[in-house]
């Protein structure tokens, strides 16, 4: 099936079907610290931080979602305008479509035009390095959006369930290691919603990857998304068996932080508000990523996204105030309270 059709299917299914994981993120097992006497003026609390030397309004990434069709390009346009207004980082969806349909290059270039100042990240499935994608192809997708970084995503379960999926994940760590010196921007490696295990984190770090987005379980389950694209009943049942698969986001952060404390961690997977972002910051991540809730807001234009980002920023800011932290750096010295 054409990749453009698949992208439109993914958006439709995410908006119309219940594709949540059977697992929770694990963040509900933690309580943010509360200081009844914070010794702060709320007006002095600042959520700003830096991402790859660019200032952002808060440590939130609009996680990679889509792009490459008329419908998905409109979504990216709305997301980019909102990201620029709120000065938050943004990732685009897989740009493999650009390699197969170079006529879509202008649409990807428009993302940077709408968001000239923010950290913007290119995106490609890591497995494509085993299916003919070369260094020059990777440089093309980085150039297309004048990216500040490249996200390589790992999605073995999704590829295994997808019709015509690419399932040869052998030798990828070596190929990633060889690619890194050729990149003009930093590399981030992420899962798509099933989490990063300690062994994988160590393998990636030893390969030269310095930024890992755990993208844990607890949000969208892409096995459920692919289930809704399958016509074969046996394959649908197979996909359904994995609705509870993966490492919950909170646990993945903890495990990876312990295994490779020197790595920079980002955390996505089931985050829904500013308090979730606050929790992952205290678990050891430097940025929280969000997709599903923002996708729903992106259908009609940038205004609803901006309103949602405003709310998330105020949630984070108030959480910082109540924890007695004026800056993100101060906040990250605080500790969560484990409930169970």
Q: What residues are designated binding site for Mg(2+)?
A: 159
* C-alpha to C-alpha distance for 35 and 259, rounded to whole angstroms: 31
DSSP states along 49-108 = EEETTEEESSSEEE-----SSHHHHHHHHHHHHHHHHHT-EEE---THHHHH-GGGHHHH
Alpha helices in 192-297 (DSSP H): 198-206, 222-227, 233-240, 249-259, 274-283, 292-297
Q: What DSSP element (H or E) covers 330?
A: helix 328-331
123 φ, ψ to 5°?
Answer: -155, 135
Query: Residues at the annotated binding site for FMN?
Result: 63-66, 94, 123, 190, 220, 291-292
Query: Residues at the annotated binding site?
Result: 6-7, 63-66, 94-96, 123, 158-159, 190, 220, 291-292
Name, in order, each residue with C-beta under 8 angstroms of 12's C-beta and a sequence gap of 6 or more.
Answer: none
Tokens of 25: 């993120």
Classified as helix, coil or strand, 230 is coil
Which among 146, 154, 104 is positioned nearest to 128, based on CA atoms? Answer: 154
Torsional sign, CA 95, 99, 100, 102: positive
Query: Residues at the annotated binding site for substrate?
Result: 6-7, 94-96, 158
Residue entry with tokens 């997708």: 141
Determine the distance from the C-alpha atom of residue 335 to the mean position of all C-alpha atoms in its chain, rounded to a whole number: 24
Q: Pairing between strand 89-91 and 30-31?
A: unpaired
Which among 104, 186, 98, 180 is positioned nearest to 140, based on CA atoms? Answer: 98
Is residue 76 within 8 A of residue 67, CB to CB? The reply is yes
Classified as helix, coil or strand, 232 is coil
């Amino acid at each position: 099936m054409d990749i453009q059709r698949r992208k439109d299917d993914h958006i439709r299914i995410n908006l119309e079907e219940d594709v949540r994981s059977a697992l929770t993120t694990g963040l509900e097992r933690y309580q943010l610290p509360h200081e009844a006497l914070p010794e702060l003026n709320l007006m002095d609390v600042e959520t700003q931080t830096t991402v790859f030397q660019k200032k952002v309004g808060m440590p939130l990434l609009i996680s990679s979602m889509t792009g490459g069709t008329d419908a998905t390009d409109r979504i990216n346009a709305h997301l980019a305008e909102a990201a620029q207004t709120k000065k938050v980082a943004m990732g685009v969806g897989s740009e493999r479509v650009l390699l197969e349909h170079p006529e879509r290059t202008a649409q990807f270039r428009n993302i940077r035009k709408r968001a000239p100042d923010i950290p913007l990240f290119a995106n490609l499935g890591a497995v494509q390095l085993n299916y003919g994608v070369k260094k020059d192809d990777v440089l093309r997708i980085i150039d297309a959006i004048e990216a500040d970084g490249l996200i390589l995503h790992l999605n073995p379960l999704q590829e295994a369930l997808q019709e015509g999926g690419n399932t040869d994940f052998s030798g990828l760590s070596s190929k990633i290691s060889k690619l890194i010196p050729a990149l003009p921007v930093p590399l981030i490696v992420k899962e798509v919603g099933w989490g990063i295990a300690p062994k994988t984190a160590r393998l990636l770090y030893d390969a030269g990857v310095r930024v890992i987005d755990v993208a844990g379980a607890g949000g969208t389950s892409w096995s459920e998304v692919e289930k809704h694209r399958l016509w074969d009943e046996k394959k649908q049942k197979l996909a359904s068996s994995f609705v509870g698969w993966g490492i919950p986001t909170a646990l993945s952060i903890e495990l990876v932080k312990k295994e490779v404390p020197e790595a920079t961690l980002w955390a996505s997977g089931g985050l829904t508000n500013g308090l979730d972002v606050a929790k992952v910051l205290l678990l050891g991540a430097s940025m929280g990523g969000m997709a599903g809730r923002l996708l729903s807001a992106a259908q009609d234009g940038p205004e609803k996204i901006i309103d949602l980002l405003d709310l998330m920023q105020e949630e984070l800011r108030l959480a910082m105030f109540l924890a007695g932290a004026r800056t993100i750096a101060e906040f990250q010295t605080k500790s969560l309270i484990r409930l169970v």
